């Protein structure tokens, strides 16, 4: 039984890591195809990728869209959670349900709906329209995390601040937000990673300037290439670095 557990664990890790190992290994392929046999090690593909203007531009676009849309989602989500967690409003349950609802809807549908709306209103597609879509998908996440983090401890600290004469906006920014720094940071960075990696909304709602996943998608259309492996490996490296840094500095404190 005990041995079986470790065998299962090893098999699961092998399955989970198989595609990543293959991806990274063949990004160093000294040949035209990222499949066996392995023909030796080269860094040429990394050089090619980093010298590709379209890719670098897409990367910058992605970073911008992710940062801005996550900030908007965080601010909106935090304010709404703050209000719904303490002020009794009629239909609180309904409001909460509505704010959470986009979480249960496929991104494809959200994207298609926005596309229908923007078409009808004559809005031109751009990074902004994709950003709007990303706020829609990340707002429920930021709201839910902020809402869950607001406990009684939080409420009594806020009451104390009001009692000592702080106006509401000062309570919000000097007491509530700093007390929730860790969960808010967690919500922000989760949103950034979701937005950064999102494909279908960015694909349908951008036109000329595109984000990184969309650019990678167009690379795929020209067939298998170690260049795609190199891009994938780089993105993986950046994400993992971010996750490790967050694990050490942010998430550990959320617990």
Partner 1 sequence: MGWGLVAPALLWTLAFFVLPFAAMIALSFAHMEGRDVVRGFDPGNYVRIFTDWTMLKALLNSLEITAIVTVISVLLAYPLAAIIAFRVPARWQRLALLLAVLPFWTSYVVRSYSWLLVLGQNGVVNKALLGLGLIAEPLEIASTRVATVIGFVHFFVMLLTLTIYANLIQLSPNYARAAADLGAGRWATFRHVILPLTLPGVMTGAFLTFVLCIGDYITPQILGGNNELTLPQLIMLQLGRSGNFPLASALSVVLMAVVTVAYFACSRWLRLDRV
Tally Cβ neighbours within 10 Å of residue 26: 24
CB 98 to partner 1: min, Å: 6
Residue closest to 111 by CA, chosen among 2, 232, 213, 5 = 213
Kindly tell me the sign of the dihedral angle through the C-alpha atoms of 62, 65, 70, 73: negative
Minimum separation from the CB atom of position 121 to partner 1 (A):
9
Q: How far is the CB of 122 from partner 1 (least distance, A)?
A: 13
The rounded distance, in Å, linking the Cα atoms of 103 and 131 is: 17
d(CA 177, CA 75): 10
Minimum CB separation of residue 44 from partner 1 in Å reads: 18
In this structure, what token pair is assigned to residue 46? 């990394």
Residue with smaller CB distance to partner 1, 64 or 242: 242
Q: How far is the CB of 195 from partner 1 (least distance, A)?
A: 12
């Amino acid at each position: 039984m005990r041995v079986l557990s470790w065998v299962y664990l090893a098999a699961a890790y092998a399955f989970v890591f198989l595609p990543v190992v293959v991806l990274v290994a063949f990004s160093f392929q000294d040949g035209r195809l990222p499949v066996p046999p392995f023909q030796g090690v080269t860094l040429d593909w990394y050089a090619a990728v980093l010298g590709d203007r379209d890719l670098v531009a897409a990367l910058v676009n992605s970073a911008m869209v992710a940062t801005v849309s996550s900030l908007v989602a965080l601010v909106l989500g935090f304010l709404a959670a703050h209000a719904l967690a303490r002020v009794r409003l009629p239909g609180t349950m309904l409001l909460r349900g509505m704010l959470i609802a986009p979480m249960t809807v496929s991104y494809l549908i959200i994207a298609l709906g926005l596309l229908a709306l923007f078409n009808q209103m004559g809005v031109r597609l751009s990074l902004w329209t994709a950003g709007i879509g990303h706020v829609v998908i990340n707002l429920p996440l930021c709201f839910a995390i902020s809402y869950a983090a607001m406990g009684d401890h939080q409420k009594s600290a806020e009451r104390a601040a009001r009692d000592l004469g702080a106006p509401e906006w000062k309570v919000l920014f000097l007491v509530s937000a700093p007390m929730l720094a860790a969960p808010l940071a967690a919500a922000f960075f989760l949103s950034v990673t979701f937005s950064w990696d999102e494909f279908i909304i960015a694909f349908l709602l951008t036109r000329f300037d595109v984000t990184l996943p969309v650019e990678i998608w167009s690379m795929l259309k020209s067939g298998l290439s170690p260049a795609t492996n190199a891009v994938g490996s780089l993105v993986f490296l950046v994400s993992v670095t971010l996750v490790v840094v967050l694990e050490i500095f942010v998430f550990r404190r959320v617990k």
